[in-house]
Amino acid sequence: MRFAMRSIPVFLLLMTSFSAMAQSSAQDIVAASDKVRNPGQPFRVTSTLQEYVGGQPRDRVVLTVYAREDAATRQFKNLVRYVDPPRDRGKMVLLDGTRMWFYDPASKVSIRISAQQRLMGQASNGDVMTVNLARDYRATLAGEETVTDADRQARECWHLVLAAATEDAVYSKIDYWVERSSNRPVKGKYYSDSGRLLKIAYFRAFREELGTARPTETIIIDAVDPNQVTTLNSSDYRFETIPEAWFQREFLPRLKVE
C-alpha cells in the first residue's frame, strides 16, 4: 500500500516509533518519499548542475528534463536535453529502463549506451530526482537516526537500506534517510555493485512545486573524490503533455527547442 505520511492523522504521529514502524513498512516510506520528489503526472523541469572543485565553483550544466511515469512499471522515463554549456547544447539522452540512447546533433547519430555509461555524464545527476526508488529497490528499515541535514539542522529520520531489486536499478545499494514527520528525503548514499560508495546526496530547499513541497536543491558529493561536489537546482517545473511516442530513439532529433 502506498500512501503519503502527511495524510496520517496527527495522533498517529504522536505514537511511539515502534508502533509507527509497525504501521508503515519500509517500502511505503520510500514510496511516500518518491511522491515528495516526483509529481505523478508528466512534467518538465529545468535542472541546473553547478560543479564545485575544491570548494570553488567550476562548470555549470543546464538540462531540461521531460519525465513521464510508465503506467505499467511505475518507473519514470526521461528525456534529458542539454541547454548549457554551449559545447553540449542540443545533445540529448533518452533514459527508459534498459533502453538508453545518446543523441548528438553534430553527428546526427544516436548511440546506445549502457547503465554504466549513463553514470558518466551529468545526465545521471539530472535524472537522480526522477527515479521511483520504491519500484527498483527493496527497502528494509535499519532504524531511526538523527541526521544532520545540509543546513546543519538535526532531522529525525528513518534510516532505510535499499537493495537493487530490478535490472533497471542504477545503484546496487542505497542508504536513504527520510524525515519521519514529513517523508521528505534528507540524505542518500549510493553504492556500486562492488560496494563502493559513489555518491552522497543531500536534499534541501523544499518549496511548493506542482502541488507539493519538493526539494529544489540536491547536493551531490562525489564519494570517490569528495573534492568534487555538484549542486542540482530544480526550477521551472511545469506539467506538460508528454506522449509515450517521445521515448524512442527516432524522436530524439525531433524534440522542439522552446
Partner 1 sequence: MRRRAGALLAALAWLAAPPAQADDVDLIPQAVRQGAPAAPAATERAAKLNLENALSVWSLRDPVVSIPGGTSVDARNRTSVELRGRWRLGKSVELHLSDRASAIEQNDFSFPSSRTWRNDWREGYLTWEPAPREYLEAGRINLRNGVALGFNPTDFFKTRSLVDQSSQDPSALRENRLGTFMLRGQRIWDGGSASLAWAPKLYSPTPIETGLPAAGLRARLDRTNGASRLLASASFELGDLAPQLLVYHEGGVTRLGLNLSRTAGKSVVLYGEWAGGRYPNLITRALAYGRETGTLPAGVPGVLPAASGDEFQNDLALGFSWTGAAKLTLNAEYLYHQAGMTREDWRRWFATGSANAGSLAATGALWYIRAFAADQQEPATREQLFLRAAWSDAFVPHLELSGFALVNLYDRSRLVQLGARYDLSERWTLGAYLGANLGAAESERGSLPQANSAVLQALYYF
Among residues 182 and 228, whose Cβ is nearest to partner 1?
Answer: 228
Q: Does residue 238 belong to the site contacting partner 1 (CB under 8 A)?
A: no
How would you write 24-88 as a 3-class SS string? CCHHHHHHHHHHHHCCCCCEEEEEEEEEEECCEEEEEEEEEEEEEECCCCCCEEEEEEEEECHHH
Q: Does residue 228 belong to the site contacting partner 1 (CB under 8 A)?
A: yes
Stretch that binds partner 1, among 9-17, 36-44, 67-75, 82-90 (CB under 8 A): 82-90
Among residues 76 and 202, whose Cβ is nearest to partner 1?
Answer: 202
Q: Does residue 140 belong to the site contacting partner 1 (CB under 8 A)?
A: no
Among residues 31 and 185, whose Cβ is nearest to partner 1?
Answer: 185
Q: At 166, is the secondary structure helix, strand, or coil? A: coil
Task: Lay out the site mask for partner 1 across 42-71 (x = CB under 8 A, - = otherwise).
Answer: ----x-x-x-xx-xxxxxx-x-x-------
Which of 1, 9, 71, 146 binds partner 1 (CB under 8 A)? It is 146
The answer to whether 36 and 186 are in contact (CB under 8 A) is no
Among residues 2 and 99, whose Cβ is nearest to partner 1?
Answer: 99
Q: If phi over 0 gives left and psi between -120 and 50 gives alpha, with beta otherwise, what is residue 196?
A: beta
Task: Lay out the site mask for partner 1 across 177-216 (x = CB under 8 A, - = otherwise).
Answer: ----------x-x--xxx-x---x-x--x-----------
Q: Letter for the amino acid at 64?
A: T
Residue 70 burial (C-beta neighbours within 10 Å; 0-12, 13-18, 19+): middle
Task: Lay out the site mask for partner 1 across 98-117 (x = CB under 8 A, - = otherwise).
Answer: xxx---xxxxxx-xxxxxxx
| # residues contacting partner 1 (CB under 8 A) | 78
Q: How far is the CB of 88 from partner 1 (least distance, A)?
A: 9
CB atoms within 10 A of CB 210: 14
Q: Letter for the amino acid at 42?
A: P
Among residues 35 and 44, whose Cβ is nearest to partner 1?
Answer: 44
Instruction: Respond yes or no on whether the N-terminal peptide bond of residue 39 is cis (omega within 30° of 0).
Output: no
Among residues 61 and 133, whose Cβ is nearest to partner 1?
Answer: 61
d(CA 36, CA 34): 5
Q: Does residue 89 belong to the site contacting partner 1 (CB under 8 A)?
A: yes
